[in-house]
């Protein structure tokens, strides 16, 4: 065995040279690896005894792509394209042996090889679009030559990898390895040599694209993926690049791809998306709780409350194979809750999202009960009852009496003080918040709320179990509304003022959806129901919302709220709502004025950023990027804008500060700048250090 460099070794077995790459954790194509591949290829090419070369990786995966950490820096030779050129110029076959995830530049390198063999569990894909770029090493040109335009568009526009078996069917991979990958790759390489198989160069295989209807393929892809990718610059650019595979000779298509790649890589969207990639991984790291902190075993979960929230939370655990005891106070509510869970699973089976036997397995793990005492054997108990402190306190006092020693007691409260809830127990170290977002079986975000006395292993366990059930868990501190809802309140306050001053709900919502959010505050309110916490008997009709409820406009469920809804739940502006707003405006003494889109956006977003600065200053969030992860995963902040704090950095903290001061002079203390915003603006710094 020859060591080529710390990341590369070369072995010759009979007539086959095996080049093994080892660059943990994911074999990213860093400079050291590129150098190793170049030198290894050269040595194998020069050795007359070698008839074929196998390219294989050590560790958990084949090359997972270019090294994201090298982006934005000058790329030192040899480049990935240099390596591909060398492989394609060789007169000995090169076989890529794939396992784990062969992604991005990793798959592109494999596509420049003459043959590919893969472990059955391997996945291959071009996920560049998720980083706001397109494949930059021939992926948009070689993949369509193998699989045709529609399929290549699907893979490149969604970034979703395909499994090895599909990759064989599609022609991306030549063979599945029946056993040990290295041994199988050697066998395959020997067969290629013995049979004298040709040196396949995908770049020369244009026949698949002959006669493809390019426009129809693009139109189809736009229909399938366009809505989800609204606002992403990389989408149309990726379509262009792939279309070039059919429209231009290989080298011209490759050159265009490169131009587009470089342009996108230098843009704000890609910067934001790459920042989010890092931010999403950073949330797991907690300053005073090392990664190796022991966690508690969670064998059974208890859930108090079988409403929409409790049921959704239960489904996440059941789907992960964790038994759940769910309790309610009345049989009817319990039946309704378990019925909804069963119905949701049935719908997922119908839509092909899960297999029938998995749904059955999940349903079988659910134990419904009316007995509080049945929670006694649970390791984690999540309270998802009515959002009122007295109710929570009563429940936690009862839990304290029956829960087993070491059980974790969590509240799903969205606003309330965890320390106050914990204070009614004799075990505040075992108490914390686990704030799920509705619908809990779908939304990715989980805010893990750390109380004053919460034990470190309790936090570590909650963060881990969150990840185990597929959530993005973010650690936050105690305050009214934690990170997400506290910032949302700042936005809501301004939205309510804007409609009194002169805007209409649909103006406000449109500005935010144009910005890239899935919906605005009034659409969101209609969806959640305007009567949350409203009571007809005690309603004083003081707010617009109360007046809408009194008019039985209680949101989407009554087909009327801030909007009128048709049978497809499509909302349209309502003359009645306009009237109600105009009356209320007059009563409050507002002289209505035209409010421009810029002002609407600044009035909604800047106070959120200001609140984010306070949250950071108070240590409620560990880092600015955690706030961004909350907003992306809990509220649909567009990834291509990187979250509110990254957005703040792209606008410029000084610009935001000036505007806040102007608004403060015009509209009062709601706009008083946070000390941290002032400090960062003064120092010319940034919140995230990444924009
Ligand atoms: C590209 O290839 C461009 C080309 O077309 C053109 C070039 C000219 N680089 O996710 P994990 C780190 S674009 C550097 O927790 P998992 C990651 O930050 C690239 N580092 O593990 C983390 O570090 P830390 C196209 C990377 O098992 C650690 O590895 N490729 C890279 O859950 C573990 O990661 C992609 O977009 C990278 N490329 O998932 C693939 N990838 O421990 C991106 C990961 O310090 N990667 N790291 O936080 C992934 O999708 C997942 O990481 C993967 C493993 C599925 C591979």
Mutation test residue for ligand 1: of 23, 26, 159, the one with most atoms within 8 Å of CB? 26
pLDDT for position 686: 97
Instruction: Name the residue with higher pLDDT: 72 or 145.
Output: 145
> What is the whole-number distance in angstroms between the Cα of residue 110 and the centre of ligand 1?
17
Alpha carbon nearest to ligand 1 atom 16, residue: 26
Tokens matching residue 286: 């907690």
Query: Do 260 and 322 belong to one domain?
Result: no
Burial class (CB in 10 A: 0-12, 13-18, 19+), 18: buried
Alpha carbon nearest to ligand 1 atom 15, residue: 281
pLDDT above 90 for 541 = no
Distance CA 256, CA 138 (A): 10
pLDDT for position 95: 98
CA angle 480, 605, 157 (to 5 degrees): 110
pLDDT, average across residues 448-467:
98
CA-closest candidate to residue 361, choices 379, 345, 372 = 345
Q: What is the pLDDT of residues 468-498, one digit of tens each?
A: 999 999 999 999 999 999 999 999 999 999 9
Nearest-atom index, ligand 1, CA of 261: 6
Mutation test residue for ligand 1: of 29, 62, 64, the one with most atoms within 8 Å of CB? 64
Q: What is the pLDDT of residues 605-618, one digit of tens each?
A: 999 999 999 999 99
Tell me if 690 is assigned to some domain: no
Q: Please provide the DSSP assignment of 226-281 as one string.
A: TTTTTT-HHHHHHHHHHHHHHHS-HHHHHHHHHHHHHHHHTSHHHHHHHHHHHHHH
Tell me if 328 is assigned to some domain: yes
Nearest-atom index, ligand 1, CA of 135: 5
pLDDT above 90 for 319 = yes
> What is the whole-number distance in angstroms between the Cα of residue 65 and the centre of ligand 1?
7
Query: Do 243 and 358 belong to one domain?
Result: no
Last residue of a domain, one of 250, 265, 280: 265
423 to each of 144, 400, 433, how far by Cα in Å? Answer: 62, 11, 13
Determine if the peptide bond prior to 104 is cis (ω within 30°): no
> What is the whole-number distance in angstroms between the Cα of residue 251 and the centre of ligand 1?
28
Distance CA 534, CA 467 (A): 35
SS3 label, residue 293: coil
Distance CA 100, CA 21 (A): 14
Last residue of a domain, one of 588, 607, 641: 588
Q: Active-site residue among 15, 70, 108, 360? A: 108
45 to each of 87, 185, 691, how far by Cα in Å? Answer: 10, 18, 44
Tell me if 209 is assigned to some domain: yes
Mutation test residue for ligand 1: of 23, 25, 85, the one with most atoms within 8 Å of CB? 25
Alpha carbon nearest to ligand 1 atom 28, residue: 25
Distance CA 621, CA 75 (A): 35
Query: Do 573 and 666 belong to one domain?
Result: no
Q: Tell how far CA 650 is from the center of its chain.
A: 21
| Domain membership of residue 346 as a residue range | 301-482
Nearest-atom index, ligand 1, CA of 65: 2
Alpha carbon nearest to ligand 1 atom 45, residue: 281
Distance CA 95, CA 76 (A): 25
1 neighbors 38 (Cβ within 8 angstroms): no
* H helix or E strand, kind and range, residue 618: none
Tell me if 278 is assigned to some domain: no
**CATH for 558:** 1.10.1040.50
Query: Do 315 and 419 belong to one domain?
Result: yes
462 neighbors 434 (Cβ within 8 angstroms): yes
Query: Do 13 and 146 belong to one domain?
Result: yes
Torsion of CA 334, 335, 341, 342, to 10 degrees: 150
DSSP 11: E
> What is the whole-number distance in angstroms between the Cα of residue 351 and the centre of ligand 1?
31
**CATH for 96:** 3.90.226.10
Q: What is the pLDDT of residues 542-562, one digit of tens each?
A: 899 999 999 999 999 999 999
Q: Tell how far CA 187 is from the center of its chain.
A: 40
Nearest-atom index, ligand 1, CA of 75: 8
Query: Do 256 and 175 belong to one domain?
Result: yes
Q: Model ipTM?
A: 0.99
Q: What is the pLDDT of residues 225-279, one digit of tens each?
A: 999 999 999 999 999 999 999 999 999 999 999 999 999 999 999 999 999 999 9
Please indicate, yes or no, whether the overall pTM of this predicted structure exceeds 0.90.
yes
> What is the whole-number distance in angstroms between the Cα of residue 67 and the centre of ligand 1?
7
Mutation test residue for ligand 1: of 65, 125, 242, the one with most atoms within 8 Å of CB? 65
Distance CA 512, CA 379 (A): 42
pLDDT, average across residues 112-140:
98
Alpha carbon nearest to ligand 1 atom 19, residue: 65
Structural domain count, the chain: 4
SS3 label, residue 580: helix
pLDDT above 90 for 39 = yes
Nearest-atom index, ligand 1, CA of 126: 25
User: Residue with structure tokens 């297999």?
Assistant: 355
Mutation test residue for ligand 1: of 37, 57, 68, the one with most atoms within 8 Å of CB? 68
By DSSP bridging, strand 563-565 and strand 571-573 are antiparallel
Query: Do 67 and 192 belong to one domain?
Result: yes
Beta bridge partners of 210: none
Tell me if 284 is assigned to some domain: no
> What is the whole-number distance in angstroms between the Cα of residue 174 and the centre of ligand 1?
25
> What is the whole-number distance in angstroms between the Cα of residue 26 and the centre of ligand 1?
6
* H helix or E strand, kind and range, residue 154: helix 149-158
Tokens matching residue 481: 């509304």
Alpha carbon nearest to ligand 1 atom 39, residue: 26
CA-closest candidate to residue 141, choices 264, 221, 240 = 240
Q: What is the pLDDT of residues 424-442, one digit of tens each?
A: 999 999 999 999 998 898 8
> What is the whole-number distance in angstroms between the Cα of residue 105 and the centre of ligand 1?
11
Torsion of CA 396, 398, 403, 409, to 10 degrees: -10
Alpha carbon nearest to ligand 1 atom 56, residue: 64
Tell me if 273 is assigned to some domain: no
CA-closest candidate to residue 38, choices 72, 7, 67 = 7
Last residue of a domain, one of 548, 566, 588: 588
Annotation marks residue 128 as catalytic: yes
Query: Do 73 and 159 belong to one domain?
Result: yes
Query: Do 466 and 338 belong to one domain?
Result: yes
Contacts of 580 (CB under 8 A, 6+ apart): 544, 547, 548, 551
Q: What is the pLDDT of residues 367-419, one digit of tens each?
A: 999 999 999 999 999 999 999 999 999 999 999 999 999 999 999 999 999 99
Distance CA 15, CA 365 (A): 55
pLDDT above 90 for 147 = yes
pLDDT for position 539: 84
User: Residue with structure tokens 């530049």?
Assistant: 105
Q: 655-674: buried (b, 16+ CB within 10 Å) or exposed (e) per residue?
A: ebbebbeebeeeeeeebebb
Q: What is the pLDDT of residues 271-292, one digit of tens each?
A: 999 999 999 999 999 999 999 9
First to last CA, the chain: 45
Distance CA 488, CA 485 (A): 5
CA angle 411, 415, 420 (to 5 degrees): 60
Q: Active-site residue among 15, 42, 88, 128? A: 128
Alpha carbon nearest to ligand 1 atom 50, residue: 64
Tell me if 495 is assigned to some domain: no
134 neighbors 155 (Cβ within 8 angstroms): no
Nearest-atom index, ligand 1, CA of 61: 56
- Whole-number CA gyration radius for the chain: 29
Question: Which band of pLDDT confidence, cut at 50, 70 and 90, is reported for residue 594?
Answer: very high
> What is the whole-number distance in angstroms between the Cα of residue 64 and the centre of ligand 1?
6
Nearest-atom index, ligand 1, CA of 284: 48
Alpha carbon nearest to ligand 1 atom 55, residue: 101
pLDDT for position 451: 98
Distance CA 113, CA 517 (A): 42
Nearest-atom index, ligand 1, CA of 68: 9
Q: Please provide the DSSP assignment of 395-416 as one string.
A: HHHHHHHHSPTT-EEEE--SSS
Q: Please name the residue ranges forming H helices in 516-652.
A: 521-528, 544-550, 575-587, 597-617, 624-635, 644-651
> What is the whole-number distance in angstroms between the Cα of residue 285 and the centre of ligand 1?
17
Mean pLDDT across the chain, nearest whole number?
Answer: 97
Query: Do 462 and 552 belong to one domain?
Result: no
Query: Do 68 and 202 belong to one domain?
Result: yes
Question: Which band of pLDDT confidence, cut at 50, 70 and 90, is reported for residue 145?
Answer: very high
Distance CA 435, CA 481 (A): 10
637 neighbors 631 (Cβ within 8 angstroms): yes
Q: 256-265: buried (b, 16+ CB within 10 Å) or exposed (e) per residue?
A: bbbebbeebb
**CATH for 461:** 3.40.50.720
Q: What are phi and psi of 408, to 5 degrees?
A: -95, 130
Distance CA 219, CA 439 (A): 32
Tokens matching residue 106: 């990793």
% of the chain surpassing 70 pLDDT: 100
Alpha carbon nearest to ligand 1 atom 47, residue: 26
Tell me if 401 is assigned to some domain: yes
Nearest-atom index, ligand 1, CA of 106: 2
Query: Do 237 and 308 belong to one domain?
Result: no
Q: What are phi and psi of 176, to 5 degrees?
A: -95, 140
Distance CA 471, CA 435 (A): 11
> What is the whole-number distance in angstroms between the Cα of residue 690 and the centre of ligand 1?
18
What is the CB < 6 Å shell around ligand 1?
Answer: 25-26, 28, 61, 64-69, 80, 101, 103-105, 108, 127-128, 131, 135-137, 139, 281
pLDDT above 90 for 536 = no
Alpha carbon nearest to ligand 1 atom 35, residue: 65
CA-closest candidate to residue 691, choices 69, 275, 263, 130 = 275
Beta-sheet strands, E only, within 83-214: 94-98, 101-103, 115-118, 123-125, 162-163, 175-176
> What is the whole-number distance in angstroms between the Cα of residue 103 and the centre of ligand 1?
9
By DSSP bridging, strand 94-98 and strand 123-125 are unpaired
Nearest-atom index, ligand 1, CA of 103: 30
Q: What are phi and psi of 51, to 5 degrees?
A: -110, -20
Annotation marks residue 108 as catalytic: yes
Question: Which band of pLDDT confidence, cut at 50, 70 and 90, is reported for residue 534?
Answer: confident
Q: What is the pLDDT of residues 172-199, one digit of tens each?
A: 999 999 999 999 999 999 999 999 999 9
């Amino acid at each position: 065995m020859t060591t080529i460099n710390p990341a590369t070794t070369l072995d010759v077995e009979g007539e086959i040279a095996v080049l093994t790459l080892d660059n943990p954790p994911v074999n990213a194509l860093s400079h050291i690896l590129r150098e190793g591949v170049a030198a290894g290829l050269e040595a194998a090419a020069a050795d007359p005894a070698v008839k074929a070369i196998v390219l294989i990786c050590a560790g958990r995966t084949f090359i997972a792509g270019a090294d994201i950490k090298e982006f934005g820096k000058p790329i030192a030779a040899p480049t990935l394209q240099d390596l591909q050129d060398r492989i394609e110029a060789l007169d000995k076959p090169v076989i890529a042996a794939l396992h784990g995830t062969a992604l991005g530049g990793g798959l592109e390198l494999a596509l420049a090889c003459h043959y590919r063999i893969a472990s059955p569990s391997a996945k291959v894909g071009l996920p560049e679009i998720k980083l706001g770029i397109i494949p930059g090493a021939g992926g948009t040109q070689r993949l369509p030559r193998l699989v045709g335009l529609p399929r290549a568009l699907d893979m490149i526009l969604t970034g979703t990898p395909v499994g090895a078996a599909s990759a064989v069917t599609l022609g991306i991979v030549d063979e599945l390895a029946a056993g040990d990958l290295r041994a199988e790759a050697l066998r395959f390489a020997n067969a290629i040599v013995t049979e004298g198989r040709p040196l396949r160069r995908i770049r020369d295989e244009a026949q698949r694209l002959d006669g493809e209807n390019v426009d129809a393929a693009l139109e189809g892809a736009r229909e399938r993926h366009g809505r989800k990718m609204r606002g992403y610059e990389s989408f149309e650019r990726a379509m262009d690049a792939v279309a070039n595979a059919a429209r231009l000779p290989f080298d011209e298509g490759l050159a265009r791809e490169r131009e587009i790649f470089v342009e996108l890589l230098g843009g704000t969207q890609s910067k934001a998306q790459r920042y989010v990639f890092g931010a999403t991984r950073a949330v797991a790291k907690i300053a005073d709780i090392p990664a190796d902190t022991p966690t508690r075993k969670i064998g059974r979960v208890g859930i108090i409350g079988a409403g929409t929230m409790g049921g959704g939370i239960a489904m996440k655990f059941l789907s992960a194979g964790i038994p759940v005891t769910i309790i309610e106070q009345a049989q009817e509510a319990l039946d309704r809750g378990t019925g909804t869970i069963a119905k949701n699973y049935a719908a997922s089976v119908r839509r092909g999202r899960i297999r029938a036997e998995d749904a059955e397995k999940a349903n079988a793990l659910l134990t419904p009960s009316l007995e509080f005492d049945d929670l006694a054997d649970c390791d984690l108990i999540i309270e998802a009852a009515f959002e009122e402190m007295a109710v929570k306190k009563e429940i936690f006092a009862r839990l304290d009496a029956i829960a087993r020693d070491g059980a974790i007691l969590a509240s799903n409260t969205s606003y309330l003080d965890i320390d106050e809830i914990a204070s009614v127990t004799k075990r505040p170290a075992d108490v914390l918040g686990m704030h799920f977002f509705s619908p809990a079986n779908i939304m990715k975000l989980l805010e893990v709320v750390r109380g004053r006395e919460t034990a470190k292993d309790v936090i570590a366990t909650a963060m881990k179990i969150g990840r185990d059930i597929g959530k993005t868990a973010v650690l936050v501190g105690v305050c009214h509304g934690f990170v997400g809802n506290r910032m949302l309140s700042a936005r809501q306050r301004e939205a309510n003022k804007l409609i009194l001053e002169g805007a209409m709900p649909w103006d406000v919502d449109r500005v935010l959806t144009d910005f890239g959010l899935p919906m605005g505050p009034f659409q969101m309110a209609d969806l959640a129901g305007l009567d949350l916490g409203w009571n007809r008997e005690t309603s004083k009709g003081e707010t617009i919302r109360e007046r809408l409820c009194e008019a039985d406009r209680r949101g989407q469920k009554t087909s009327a709220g801030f909007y009128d809804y048709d049978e497809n739940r499509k909302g349209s502006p309502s003359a009645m709502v306009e009237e109600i707003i105009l009356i209320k405006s007059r009563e409050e003494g507002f002289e209505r004025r035209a409010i421009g889109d810029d002002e609407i956006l600044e009035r909604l977003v800047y106070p959120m950023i200001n609140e984010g600065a306070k949250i950071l200053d108070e240590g409620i969030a560990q880092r600015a990027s955690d706030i961004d992860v909350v907003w992306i995963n809990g509220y649909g902040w567009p990834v291509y804008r990187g979250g509110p704090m990254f957005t703040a950095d792209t606008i410029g903290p000084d610009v935001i500060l000036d505007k806040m001061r102007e608004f403060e002079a015009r509209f009062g203390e709601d706009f008083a700048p946070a000390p941290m915003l002032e400090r960062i603006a003064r120092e010319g710094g940034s919140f995230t250090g990444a924009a």
